[in-house]
Amino acid sequence: DNQYNYDYDLLYKLVLIGDSGVGKSNLLSRYSNNDFQINSKSTIGVEFATKAVKVDGKIIKAQIWDTAGQERYRAITKAYYRGAVGALIVYDITNTKTYENCSDWLNILSTNLENNDIVIGLIGNKKDLQHQRSVPIEEAQEFARNNQLLFTETSALSNENVEKAFTQLITTIYENSK
């Protein structure tokens, strides 16, 4: 998986946002496996992991940023968003509040972006907890459609659709940039 990490054609910065506890960090570690890095810039308080993927014969290095808990206070700095070409807004399908807050996250994202050429995906995580579901999939799909967001339900726990969600985001960014 990581054999492409040393050389690449394109570098994409992607950011993870959404309420605390929805599974952002687990999605990232699931996707990036053992390629997890703790960023030394502790003043910013972010971590990132990288993963290289091949799209259309090109090696794209995705640098995926995760918060170190600042989302709890909505205190993510502008530096976190700077230069991002993709974002995943994550909620927990068993927690309605985290879903309702996605429109706030969408606003926060747009106020922090200098460049509006960003592809955004909505992620309903904890898909494995079907018996505790409180957010209907149809409702989230409609919200995504109305806001031109990609949409996937995932489980970081069972590893369902995790790769698909990231790949879809990366592929869409690539296609849009052609």
Binding footprint of Mg ion, residue count (CB under 5 A): 2
DSSP code, position 131: G
Say whether residue 25 binds Mg ion (CB under 5 A): yes
Which residue has tokens 């991002």? 84
51 vs 60 by CB, closer to ligand GDP: 51
Say whether residue 26 binds Mg ion (CB under 5 A): no
24 vs 61 by CB, closer to ligand GDP: 24
Of 101-130, which residues contact ligand GDP (CB under 6 A)?
A: 125-126, 128-129
Read off φ and ψ for residue 97, nearest 5 degrees.
-60, -40
Q: How far is the CB of 55 from ligand GDP (least distance, A)?
A: 26
Distance CA(14)–CA(49), nearest Å, equals: 10
Choice from 2, 5, 20, 134 touching ligand GDP (CB under 6 A): 20
Distance CA(117)–CA(16), nearest Å, equals: 16
21 vs 136 by CB, closer to ligand GDP: 21
Are 45 and 51 a contacting pair, CB within 8 Å?
Answer: no
Are 30 and 49 a contacting pair, CB within 8 Å?
Answer: no
